[in-house]
């Protein structure tokens, strides 16, 4: 089976050693060139951050914090990137090098530098069967967000030609597909289905034979539906901030990590790594000198799969997207955050894992903190109940459970209320 490069099949220990060797220099670079990281890491000795344990001592940068930091900077007439980026343009009083600027919901602004395959998507495209000479129909949005540009850069790096279809205008896009006969598609899986259904209704035979989809869940049922129509589709997991994080291979057993991302799975609301196999928040460190992201919390849930990929790729595999880690909910008019649940547990070492269950109906809320412990006692239950009230300012019950009783789904706050 062909691979994008030799990095995909190097020994896992060699990859881990390379990542750890790169960490200190990357953190030093971020402190030197990024005003935001210079502030956030002012008490850190980069030379000491050379292991996963050391990395886990740094705070997680979550999207809401990045958004707030950018907003504060913009409101004061400062850097629209909040001082995180190391590139920009002349009026930012820093070295140039930003080729494009994108806007993601928030809004959060991300720069794109000048490197080829800047977002590292060529690896995912190659795993999906794309190759030099293919004509690729790109149905990601070219408006504001980087999705289309991410895929276009990867396709160009492979030697593909790209038709910039964008989103909407289904009839015009179908006409272009009929005229140009592209073999590949990149875009959301739902829009690909729309194109196929409309083509079938019009009696058109599509030329599409391969696809890389992202931006939405891609259930096996849709994968099989497309395969029945001659389209072999794979999925990629990427974000506007970090670029490619993981991608599917022909083995169809989870998603393989990109070679440019260092992954941690942490307990939602904390920066604490969880054991392999446990569901938690995806946190990545991406070695991009233009836009350093160190322990960036994506807000997505996933889990590490055991063993290497049957495709021969040796990097870590994850299960794919399993939901959102930010489970903030409003209870009796008060917002309760996963970080608060984590703080309750942190204050009681006997509490190993916990989940806040919200039940009842709106305006008649009940909350119960369900806690796993191997040394249950009435004293622990009462102490947890008081701490829960101290932190959330709300009354709640506490239920003590045996170790392993809570589901492995990454939920820290579960809202079971009825809204009818």
Question: pLDDT by residue (tens digit) across 81-98?
Answer: 999 999 999 887 777 889
Closest C-alpha among 298, 263, 297, 265 to residue 280: 265
Quote the DSSP letter at residue 183.
Answer: S
pTM: 0.87
Tell me what the mean pLDDT of segment 349-362 comes to.
88
CATH class name, domain 329-415: alpha beta
Q: What is the pLDDT of residue 96?
A: 81
Query: What are the residues whose beta carbons fall under 8 Å from the beta carbon of 76, sequence distance 6 or more?
Result: none
Query: What are the residues whose beta carbons fall under 8 Å from the beta carbon of 139, sequence distance 6 or more?
Result: 165, 166, 167, 173, 185, 186, 187, 188, 191, 192, 195
Closest C-alpha among 34, 21, 43, 24 to residue 289: 34
Assign 176 a pLDDT band (cuts: 50, 70, 90). very high
Q: What is the pLDDT of residue 1?
A: 53
Q: What is the pLDDT of residue 363?
A: 56
Report whether 255 contacts 38 (CB < 8 A): no
Query: What are the residues whose beta carbons fall under 8 Å from the beta carbon of 242, sequence distance 6 or more?
Result: 261, 284, 286, 293, 296, 298
CB atoms within 10 A of CB 64: 15
DSSP E strands, 119-231: 135-138, 161-164, 184-187, 210-213
CB atoms within 10 A of CB 202: 10
Closest C-alpha among 9, 18, 25 to residue 294: 25
Q: pLDDT tens for residues 34-69?
A: 999 999 999 999 999 999 999 999 999 998 889 999
* pLDDT of 420 above 80: no
Q: What is the dihedral of CA 202, 204, 208, 211, to 10 degrees?
A: 10
Mean pLDDT of the chain: 93
Q: How far apart (Å, rounded) are the C-alpha atoms in residues 81 and 109?
A: 6
Element (H, E) at 302: strand 293-302
Query: What are the residues whose beta carbons fall under 8 Å from the beta carbon of 312, sequence distance 6 or more?
Result: 1, 3, 8, 9
Q: pLDDT tens for residues 286-344?
A: 999 999 999 999 989 999 999 999 999 999 999 988 888 878 887 877 778 888 998 99
Q: What is the pLDDT of residue 328?
A: 82
Q: What is the pLDDT of residue 329?
A: 85
Both tokens assigned to 63: 């999207």
Q: What is the pLDDT of residue 327?
A: 83
Query: Three-class SS of residue 262?
Result: strand
């Amino acid at each position: 089976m062909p691979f994008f490069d030799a990095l995909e099949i190097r020994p896992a220990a060699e990859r881990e050693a390379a990542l750890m060797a790169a960490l200190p220099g990357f953190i030093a670079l971020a402190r030197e060139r990024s005003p935001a990281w210079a502030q956030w890491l002012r008490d850190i000795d980069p030379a000491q951050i050379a292991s996963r344990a050391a990395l886990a001592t740094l705070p997680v940068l979550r999207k809401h914090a990045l958004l707030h930091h950018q907003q504060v900077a913009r409101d004061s007439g400062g850097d629209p990137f909040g001082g995180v980026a190391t590139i920009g343009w002349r009026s930012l009083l820093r070295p140039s090098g930003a080729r494009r600027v994108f806007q993601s919901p928030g809004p959060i602004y991300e720069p794109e530098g000048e490197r080829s395959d800047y977002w590292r998507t060529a690896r995912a495209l190659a795993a999906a069967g794309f190759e030099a000479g293919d004509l690729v129909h790109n149905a990601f949005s070219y408006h504001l967000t980087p999705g289309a540009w991410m895929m276009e850069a990867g396709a160009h790096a492979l030697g593909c030609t790209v038709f910039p279809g964008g989103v909407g205008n289904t009839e015009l896009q179908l006409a272009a597909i009929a005229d140009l006969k592209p073999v590949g598609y990149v875009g959301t899986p739902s829009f690909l289905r729309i194109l196929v259904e409309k083509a079938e209704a019009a009696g058109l035979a599509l030329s599409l034979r391969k696809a890389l989809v992202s931006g939405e869940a891609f259930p096996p049922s849709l994968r099989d539906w497309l395969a029945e129509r001659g389209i072999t589709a794979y999925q990629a997991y990427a974000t506007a901030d970090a670029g490619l994080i993981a991608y599917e291979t022909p083995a169809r057993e989870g998603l393989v990590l990109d070679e440019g991302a260092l992954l941690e799975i942490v307990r939602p609301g904390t920066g604490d790594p969880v054991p392999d196999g446990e569901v938690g928040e995806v946190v990545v460190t991406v070695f991009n000198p233009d836009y350093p992201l160190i322990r960036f919390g994506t807000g997505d849930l996933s889990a590490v799969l055991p063993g290497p990929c049957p495709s021969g790729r040796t990097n870590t595999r994850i299960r794919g997207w399993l939901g959102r880690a930010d489970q903030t909910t409003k209870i009796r008019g008060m917002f309760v955050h996963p970080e608060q649940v984590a703080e309750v547990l942190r204050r009681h070492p006997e509490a190993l894992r916990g989940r806040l269950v919200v039940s009842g109906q709106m305006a008649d809320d009940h909350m119960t903190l369900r806690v796993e412990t191997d040394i249950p006692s009435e004293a622990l239950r009462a102490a947890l109940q008081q701490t829960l009230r101290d932190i959330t300012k709300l009354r709640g019950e506490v239920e003590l459970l045996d170790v392993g009783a809570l589901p492995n789904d990454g939920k820290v706050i579960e809202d079971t209320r009825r809204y009818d």
